[in-house]
Amino acid sequence: MLDSYTRVLARPGALAFSAAGLLGRMPISMTGLGIVLLVSMRTGSYGLAGALSAAFVVAEATMALWHGRWVDRWGQSRVLPVAITVFAAALGLLMVSVEQDWAAWTGYAFAAAAGASLPQVGACVRTRWSHVLTRPSEVQTAYALEAVLDEVVFIFGPVLVTLLATSWHPAAGLGVALVLGLAGTWALSLQRATEPPPRPAGTPRGDAPMPWPVVVPLAAVCLSLGALFGAAEVATVAFADVEGAPWAAGPLLAVWALGSLVAGLVTGAVRWQRGPAVRLRIGATAMAVAMVPLMLVDSLGLMALALLVGGLAIAPTMIAAMTMVEERVPPGRLTEGIAVLHTGLVAGVAPGAWLAGVLADNHGPAAAYAVALAGGVAGAAIAVVTSALARPRPVQQPAVP
């Protein structure tokens, strides 16, 4: 099964840029939680902690599309170093403002600046894979690899930031996130040999139209699934608390991510007979169905099993969505297209988590999981429409040097 991954990683420079991308996107899973831990431990206010974290997330989602557009037009080696340096400076100032008890508005300003400047490293890495690989099956394998690495980020990032903040220093987790983001993103931007060429505005490739009739529904699918993720996370925390084992929330969510990781590995190794549109429809439906048992189980063991099985649908669904973007979006706007999906995913997490939290407080975790189910049903319904849209763009033959 690993032969497929060995072949794509054997491409010159592939292992280096994928590894750099792994480090570069660690802040995605560490920063929001790190802000909550730092602010709550220093001020005692979970309300302020949540508000600052929300300012970071909203700013990130708002600017993700623009980051993708700038990278496509000006190149990764120009945009990424600037973006990650601004992110590091803003995050560092946020930590200082909390530690020194500066006025609250400074915290909001620095949190928003950090979110707005966080570079779209995952989208950049996927664009590199599409640039260095020519066979669709190899691109799918590479996207599966990145989906697996995404799960690694979301399994270990929260654990690492929590461990550092609680056992060393409240700001230590954010500090490590800052360093990893700087190191990984700079390492990626310096690898010029595998960098896709920029497509400036005013050139045929730079001005190629974005297939919005395809991209927008895909972003809507991601928005719905983001709501599912946010609601399921909050519901799982509430479930563990009701069961008298709040410590179990982290392991339960890690099991959920583990299921996705395993499925992602398999997805990249299999030569699929059905196209990504069909897999998106099936995967989104499976994610919705997987939420039903979570509303019914009443023990930690059964919940762990249900989450493990439910996680198997996550990575294949997201891989199918990314593959559809790669097939349909012009190469000169691919990073922007992937960033649109990321924006949808991030934008869905906050409302899903908020509504699930309200229902968990008033009606218990089963009602909170119903929000996740609703998000999954909406995502599946949109995926049915999306799968009937535009055909893949014609494959462009590489230029002869």
CA neighbor of 140 nearest in space, from 258, 303, 299, 265: 265
Q: Note whether residue 399 is domain-resident.
A: no
Same domain, 167 and 231: no
CB of 102 closer than 8 Å to CB of 170: no
- Count up the domains in the chain and report the number: 2
d(CA 123, CA 79): 13
pLDDT given for residue 389 in this prediction: 58
pTM for the full predicted model: 0.80
Burial of 68 (0-12, 13-18, 19+ CB in 10 A): buried
Does 401 map to a domain? no
Q: Is there a single domain that holds both residue 305 and residue 377?
A: yes
Q: Is residue 86 part of a domain?
A: yes
Strand (E) or helix (H) holding 312: none
The neighbour count for residue 316, using CB atoms within 10 Å, is: 26
User: Are residue 176 and residue 221 in the same domain, yes or no?
Assistant: no
Ranges of residues in the chain with a pLDDT under 50 are 390, 394-401
**Is residue 362, in this structure, part of any structural domain at all?**
yes
Is the residue at 397 inside a domain?
A: no
Q: Which of 159, 174, 198 is the last residue of a domain?
A: 198
Whether residues 10 and 128 fall in one domain: yes
Segment holding 179, helix H or strand E: helix 172-189
| Residue 114, token pair as written in the block | 């950090």
Q: State residue 395's pLDDT score.
A: 46
Residues contacting 204, CB < 8 A, separation 6+: none
Distance CA 35, CA 161 (A): 10
The answer as to whether 398 is a domain residue is: no
Full residue range of the structural domain in which residue 361 is found: 203-392
